Amino acid sequence: MTAAPAPDPKTPVALVSSMRNEGIHLLEWLAYHRVIGFDPVVICTNDCDDGSDLLLDCLAALGVVTHLPNPLSPGTPPQASGIARAMAHLVAHLDSDEFLNIATDDTSGADPVQTLTARAEDAHAIALPWRMFGDNGHRTWPGETLPAFTACEPAPDPATVKFKSLFRFRDFASASDHMPTQPRIDAPLAVNAAGEPLSSAALHGPPRSRYKPVETAIRGGAVVNHYATRSTDVFLLKNDRGRGMGPPSDKYHLGSKWHARANRNDVQDRTILARWPEVAAELTRLRALPGVAKAESTCCDWFAATTTRRLTTATIARWTKKAAA
């Protein structure tokens, strides 16, 4: 079986996400990824309480996004269902706390996403390593992610790093939120963000989250800035939301293993802010569209009210793991 031709740099590259109660983050995430070259953007929602589904309906009516309300059968992981229903084009799956940061010295005017796909040439999957960004000392939500959360781990840790992927979905029968699986072609090519080849073993079998050799996979000039904690209140309210790929756990407790892994404030990195003027302009444009600012305000009001109601002293104590003696 012959491989598919290399994607034209101008071929639409879709961004897919599954969200629940992410309305306070949605417009910034959307504006940033539109600025760097993702289009179309497909967002699946499930059981939203905060009004973000109505915000997305508004954006969808204006042609900005495709919104797929995603009613779930009992026991169906939301992300798995959303991906299956939303795939179209070369695609990446990024959550609302994940921002793709592509280093580029391209002077041609190409969008960063176009530059990334051009580097990959005829690859079927591009490995995009997580880089963990911490809370920057913010106990309460400051209103924006990118300018406020600049503290992070020095670099992706080879021992623990997980990856997201940008891939040609038509060459795979399935995908998780981390990478495609069940290739439809004989020899799928996986590469890092510089186009260097990686093992394709992770693309076969059950869903996985790490490419190998990891030392090669983590280099190449693109990372997913993973703002998994943001502020303390945002992090703790994830206990109410549950986990997109499974049942609730103590993952979102302060002091949990995940909190310790994700809340990295070792160094400062502001490289993603190089595009902030464009992002801010796009945010202004989006909020000026009919109904958008009002719908976003509803989400912000819900967050404020829910924070006051849920994050009592007793609840915070219950969602905080005691340090071992």
Q: pLDDT tens digits for 199-224?
A: 999 999 888 999 999 999 999 999 99
Is residue 256 within 8 A of residue 322, CB to CB? The reply is: no
d(CA 196, CA 191): 5
Query: Length of the chain in residues, anyone?
Result: 325
What is the token pair recorded at 174? 């399935």
Amino acid identity for residue 300 in this structure: C
- Smallest Cα–Cα separation from 225: which of 126, 132, 102, 301? 132
Strand partners, 100: 224
For residue range 119-168, what is the model confidence (pLDDT) as tens digits?
998 999 999 999 999 999 999 999 999 999 999 999 999 999 999 999 99
DSSP states along 25-54: HHHHHHHHHHHTT-BSEEEEE-S-SSSHHH
Is residue 126 classed as helix, strand or coil in its secondary structure? strand
pTM of the model: 0.91
Q: How far apart are the first and last CA of the chain?
A: 60
The whole-chain average pLDDT of the chain stands at 90
